[in-house]
């Protein structure tokens, strides 16, 4: 699976918690994930959603997604059109919620990626290519089970498609 898009960085890089990803003032008021997505990262970078194009990558630092375990945070990211989150590390529950919803969460040293860099993420071969800077970074290839879940659109969609957890 190959993903292509631009790097979208945040002004604050480390310890982005789920309340920064989607503010608590929206988590329970807005049930439509498309409407919820319009507020993604609003408290960290009010112009973030406006810069996004379908397929872009959210690029962050350490401990991305810390805080509460609610699925609204990765859901807002996914419905904003972001194809994957690239970070140095993730809070474990957020990482799992991403895959449950069909959103790739990739651990990589993100220091080399600048705002707007054209990136290609090759999940099969474990590579990220920064086409702007002409560099490649190795990442751990995703296990086949995780790639199947992503291909099916997440855990719930996988269950619907296969009538259970068939891999």
Convert the pLDDT of each residue in 15-57 to its tens digit: 999 999 999 899 889 999 999 999 999 999 999 999 999 999 9
pLDDT above 80: residue 165: no
Contacts of 27 (CB under 8 A, 6+ apart): 36, 70, 72
Q: Residue 117: its pLDDT value, please?
A: 98
Torsion of Cα atoms, 12 then 16 then 20 then 24, to 10° = -160
The residue ranges of every structural domain in the chain are 2-141
pLDDT (tens digit, 9 = 90+) per residue, 2-19? 999 999 998 888 999 999
Please tell me the predicted confidence (pLDDT) of residue 166. 66
**pLDDT surpasses 90 at 141:** no
On whether the CB atoms of residues 53 and 105 are closer than 8 A, the answer is no
* Homologous superfamily of 2-141: Aconitase, domain 4 (3.20.19.10)
Instruction: Note the pLDDT of residue 164.
Output: 78
Q: Which two tokens stand for residue 162?
A: 């296969």
Q: pLDDT by residue (tens digit) across 91-116? A: 999 999 999 999 999 999 999 999 99
Question: Is pLDDT of 130 > 70?
Answer: yes
Q: What is the pLDDT of residue 107?
A: 96
The confidence score (pLDDT) of residue 11 equals 84
- Whole-angstrom CA distances from 100 to 13, 82, 93, 119 are 24, 16, 10, 24
């Amino acid at each position: 699976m190959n993903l292509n898009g631009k790097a979208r960085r945040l002004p604050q890089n480390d310890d982005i918690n789920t309340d920064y990803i989607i503010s608590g003032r929206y988590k329970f008021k807005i049930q439509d994930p498309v409407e919820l997505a319009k507020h993604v990262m609003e408290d960290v970078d009010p112009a973030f959603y406006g810069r996004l194009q379908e397929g872009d990558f959210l690029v962050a630092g350490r401990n991305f997604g810390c805080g509460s375990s609610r699925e609204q945070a990765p859901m807002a990211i996914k419905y904003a059109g972001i194809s994957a989150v690239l970070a140095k590390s993730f809070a474990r529950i957020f990482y799992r919620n991403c895959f449950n919803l069909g959103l790739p969460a990739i651990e990589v040293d993100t220091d080399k990626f600048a705002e707007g860099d054209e990136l290609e993420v090759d999940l099969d071969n474990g590579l990220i290519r920064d086409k702007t800077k002409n560099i490649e970074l190795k990442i751990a290839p995703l296990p086949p089970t995780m790639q199947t879940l992503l291909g099916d659109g997440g855990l719930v969609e996988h269950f619907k498609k296969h009538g259970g957890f068939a891999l």
